[in-house]
Amino acid sequence: MLFNSVEFLLFLPSVFILYWFVFNRSLHWQNILILIASYFFYGWWSWKFMVLLALSTFLDYLYGFGVALQNRKRARLFLWLSVLNNLGILAVFKYYNFFALQFQQGLALLGLHTNVVLLQVAIPIGISFYTFHGMSYVFDIYRDKQKPVKNFIDYAVFVSFFPLLVAGPIERASHLLPQIRKKRFFNNIQAADGCRLILWGLFKKVVIADSLAVIVDNIFTHYHDQHASSLIVGAIAFSFQIYGDFSGYTDIALGTAKLFGFELLTNFKFPYFSRDIAEFWRRWHISLSSWFRDYLYIPLGGSKQGKLKAVRNTFIIFLVSGFWHGASWKYIAWGGIHACGFLPLLLLNRNRKHTSDVVAQERRLPSGRELAQMMVTFTFVTFAWVFFRAADMREAIGYLTSAVTNYKQPKDLLMCLSVCCYIIPLIGCDWWLRRDERSLKAPRRIKSVIYVVLALLVLFYFGKQTNFIYFQF
């Protein structure tokens, strides 16, 4: 079920009414309702996916008790079983065909020709997200940061909570489970904030991202016939398409969770105002980058064992992060590009320069230096996005080559103007909100007008139900 669908617009108020007006006297029954609603929401795509989700949830629930054993050898055994189980699920459904084809091509280079068996199965939606939920829960128990949850319903809600199930944010057990196990009361302010977030998320998805998607798809499909300037604009358009699409999804998820009394982790903090790549990754898909930092980078030694190992660990997490997004060399290249951009900052000890401050914190406009830093960072990120968006490595390289050589094709000024009409308002809104995330500082009447305009735009553009980009991961 898509957030930007009529079905969800019927599903959400139905669950909301049952949750607060029928099951409100019992926390246990509220959680059961959330669990049923989550599986219904997920099963809307395929009931077969529900079986895999339930199996993964049940196994990690059991592993949680195993890794809590006082006998550390046995605890470590259950930890590895959980890792193998979750990575095994990912390997079969998401990566098997990729590795099988690479194996076949490797043998062909040696003169050995063979036919490999490929799985004809769709990748279950959200598989990378809910497996990471389960692994983080087991890791935290093993590291004594979390106690095993005895109530299976509570744990199952943590894994499958429908607002975050298919595209995150990737929650931590220590943050979400206490909210699941605690009595919740309806809060008018929290619910109003949730509705505003849902509206803002729908605007970014339906009005901005989906409109840009039409332009981007046409440019990338026919990049050979496009002028170099159009290709550059197309890459910029995709940068804002994926931002509007993914951050829009996150806003809807956070807003929906607020309607039920939950506060989810922030996943975006205006990443395109970053002044270097390190800051970008502290602001883009925060839950994933922090997951890799806590469960991969730090266990590998982080940056505390010398520069050489720090460089190694940096490349590992970026390459793994790229591969997490999909079984393709283009995603690995995308991760490698970001690793190369991060490396100079690491070697110069400048990777933690912008950890908490906001650009132009006390000013309306950035300084010339800040503006240059943001433009350089955005240009680098946009260059890398070409590999992310292209169908494969060949198309990505061909697209970039054409972007610096195709000057004989006619310019499409109307297309460039259309892109600007969508991205400039989004940049302006983000700049307005950057100091106090999600809080619109304006007189009440002006805010009311803004919300009405956003709602009318969403209704006007609402029609074609398009998947969110991160559903494929």
Pair of tokens at residue 271: 């990443």
Q: Give the DSSP letter of residue 222.
A: T
Residue-wise pLDDT for 216-251, tens only, equals 999 999 999 899 999 999 999 999 999 999 999 999
Tokens of 59: 């196994």
pLDDT per residue over 110-163, tens digit each? Answer: 888 788 888 787 788 889 999 999 999 999 999 999 999 999 999 999 999 999
Taking only the tens place, the pLDDT of each residue in 36-69 is 999 999 998 878 889 999 999 999 999 999 999 9
Q: How many residues does the chain have?
A: 473
Determine the Cα–Cα distance for residues 143 and 76; give it in Å rounded to an integer.
11
State the DSSP code for 410.
Answer: P
Active site residue 285: no
Domain ranges of the chain: 6-185, 190-275+354-472
The confidence score (pLDDT) of residue 355 equals: 80
The confidence score (pLDDT) of residue 100 equals: 87
Distances (CA, A) of 194 to 7, 176, 180, 250, 338: 19, 17, 18, 12, 33
| Mean pLDDT rounded to a whole number for the chain | 91
Closest CA to 364 of 424, 448, 441: 441
Q: Catalytic one among 133, 227, 285, 325?
A: 325
Kindly give the interhelix angle for 188-202 and 228-259, rounded to the nearest 10 degrees: 160
Q: What is the mean pLDDT of residues 285-311?
A: 90
Dump the DSSP string for 105-129. HHHHHTT----------PPPTTHHH
pLDDT of residue 439: 65
Q: How many CA atoms lie within 13 A of 463 on its CB side?
A: 6
Give me the amino acid identity at 457: L
Is residue 440 scored above 80 in pLDDT? no
438 band by pLDDT with thresholds 50, 70 and 90: low
**Rounded percentage of the chain residues whose pLDDT exceeds 90:** 69
Task: State pLDDT tens for residues 173-215.
Answer: 999 999 999 999 999 999 999 999 999 999 999 999 999 999 9
